[in-house]
Structure 1
Amino acid sequence: MTPPTPVQRSFQLWIAAVVVGVVGSALSLATATTAPSPLAATGGLVGVVIGLLFLGVVVYLALRLRAGDHWARLALTILGGISAVFTVLGVLLTAGLGVSIGVVSTIVSLVQAALIVAAILFAFQGPANAYFR
């Protein structure tokens, strides 16, 4: 059975979020390699590796979502929801504390969060719900 349009859109948005995440990781890696200390650079590199592994899991789950696996939709909703909430809270917290993480990094983070929220919403539209039953 071919996935309905909302499931296809959700899949595309998840992949777009991953692409934005890879760009964000590349920016973080560039920042980590110019860190003032080796410990900071190592910490940044570890963060990038963990982030890329997480993005790999998201790609796998998005493929399972497109194949109609209800568990993948739930897993993406939980992981994506947590990610979007923490991204927005992180941006607000750093701004509130007067810490600058960079305009580009902030924009990348917020775009990724918006893509995730949109992907979750598409995954729960009427035709998508019928597909997962």
Structure 2
Amino acid sequence: MTNPSEVPQPQQPGQPSGFHLQKPTDGPQSFNDVMPKGGFSGMFSVIGLPTELKVSYWIWLIGGMLGVLGSLFGLLATLAFFTVAPALAAVFLVLVLVALALAAAQIVFGLKMKEGKEWARLALTIVAGVSLVLAVIGGSMGEGIGNNWLGFLISAAATVLMWLPNSQAWFTAVKGRA
């Protein structure tokens, strides 16, 4: 009798041959597994990455840094808003802190994606999905929040680059070396 994990899975309609969607097996086991190797000083080295992943990495990294910067400005504005409407400012403060945490997580996920961690690539794909949801919600609220679509389009481009065949081959090769 064959092992169920060795049984070939039928190819899904519309799925290119050679592309197999599977759950990442390299998930973090501890907090240290999430932190980038060599600390944050290695964030500017992209040696060995295919061009698609280099572009995707820089999009995620710069987007995360801009998110942190925007959240810090939002934090200052929210603190000033406490003098006018404390209850509403408290809600804004929570939202700004969540945005700050998500931007910091995006940076860490980008750094781990650069190391070949498939779980980080999946997490960034989920971030792009959340970006789509926020764009839809923002678009349904009317005017003033139209820039959410630009953010989604940029994250969608970075996500597509992470899943192209050349990137897929690089992740497979890195997984084979580990």
Tell me the TM-score normalised to structure 2 length: 0.61
Q: Are the aligned partners of 1:10 and 1:122 in contact in 2 as well (CA < 8 Å)? A: yes
Once the two structures are superposed, residues 98-129 of structure 1 have per-residue CA deviations (whole angstroms, 9 ceiling, x without a partner) of xx5x3xx532x333222211110110112100
Q: Are the aligned partners of 1:3 and 1:68 in contact in 2 as well (CA < 8 Å)? A: no
Quote the RMSD (CA, aligned, Å).
2.2
Where do residues 1-133 of structure 1 align in structure 2 (5 Å cutoff)?
2-26=48-72, 28-29=74-75, 32=78, 33-34=80-81, 36-81=84-129, 83-95=130-142, 100=143, 102=144, 106-107=146-147, 109-133=148-172
Once the two structures are superposed, residues 36-60 of structure 1 have per-residue CA deviations (whole angstroms, 9 ceiling, x without a partner) of 4101111111111111111111111
Q: Which runs of 5+ in 1 are unaligned?
A: none
Relative contact order, higher structure (CA 8 A, sep 6+): 1
The number of equivalent residue pairs is 124
Which structure is higher in helix share?
1
Tell me the TM-score normalised to structure 1 length: 0.79
Larger Rg over CA atoms: 2
Q: Which runs of 5+ in 2 are unaligned?
A: 1-46, 173-178
* Displacement of 1:26: 4.8
Instruction: Report the identity percentage.
Output: 25
